[in-house]
Chain A
Amino acid sequence: MTIIIDGLRYLAYILIFPGFLFCFLTGLLLCGIDRKLVARMQKRIGPPILQPFYDFFKLLGKETIVPAAANKTVFLLAPLVGLAAQVVLQLFIPVFQFNAFHGVADVIVILYLLLIPALSVILGAASSGSPYAGVGLSREMVTVLSVELPLVLVLLAVAKTVGNAIGTGLCFSLTDIVNYQIANGSLITRLSMLPAVAAMLLIIPGETGSHPFDAAEAETEICEGMLAEYSGAPLAVYKLSHAIKLLTLTSMFVALFLGGIGGGVMAMFTGVSPVVAGSVGLLLEILILFVLCVVLVAICVSLIHAVTARLRIEQLFKYYWTVVTGLAAISVVLAWYGL
Chain B
Amino acid sequence: MFQKLITESTGKSPWLFHINAGSCNGCDIELVAVLTPRYDAERLGFKLTGSPRQADIVVVTGPVTKQSLPRVLRAISQVPEPRCIVTMGSCPQSGNVFRGSYSIVGPLSKYVDVDVDVAGCAPKPEAVIDGLALATKILMEKRGQKK
Contact = CB atoms under 8 A, between A and B. Distances in A.
Nearest to A220: B50
Interface stretch (A184-192, A227-235, A284-292): A227-235
Nearest to B80: A63
Contacts of B82: 62-63
Interface string B117-147: 0000000000000000000000000010000
Nearest to A218: B50
Contacts of A220: 50
B9 to A, nearest CB: 4
Given A42-B37, A223-B50, A231-B53, A58 B13 contact: yes
Most central of B7, B12, B50, B82 by chain A CB within 10 Å: B50
A54 interface: yes
Interface string A22-47: 00000000000001000100111111
Interface residues of B, number: 26
Interface in B1-54: 5-10, 12-13, 37, 40, 42-45, 48-51, 53-54
Nearest to A43: B37
A227 B53 CA distance: 9
Contact of B40 (A46, A54, A55, A230): A46
B80 A64 contact: yes
B146 to A, nearest CB: 8
Contacts of A222: 50
A61 B43 contact: no
Contacts of B81: 62-63
A227 B55 CA distance: 12
Interface residues of A, number: 36
B80 A232 contact: yes
Contacts of B56: 58, 62
Contact of A60 (B6, B12, B43, B51): B6
Given A54-B9, A61-B10, A62-B80, A44 B50 contact: no
A227 B42 contact: no
A130 to B, nearest CB: 9
Nearest to B55: A231
16 contacts: A39-B43, A46-B42, A47-B43, A51-B13, A54-B8, A56-B9, A57-B6, A60-B6, A65-B80, A132-B51, A223-B51, A224-B50, A224-B51, A230-B54, A232-B80, A235-B53
Interface of A: 35, 39, 42-48, 51, 53-58, 60-65, 132, 218-220, 222-224, 227-232, 235
Given A47-B45, A235-B53, 5 more contacts: A53-B9, A58-B13, A62-B82, A227-B54, A230-B53
**Closest 3 pairs (CB-CB, A-B):** A219-B50, A61-B6, A57-B9
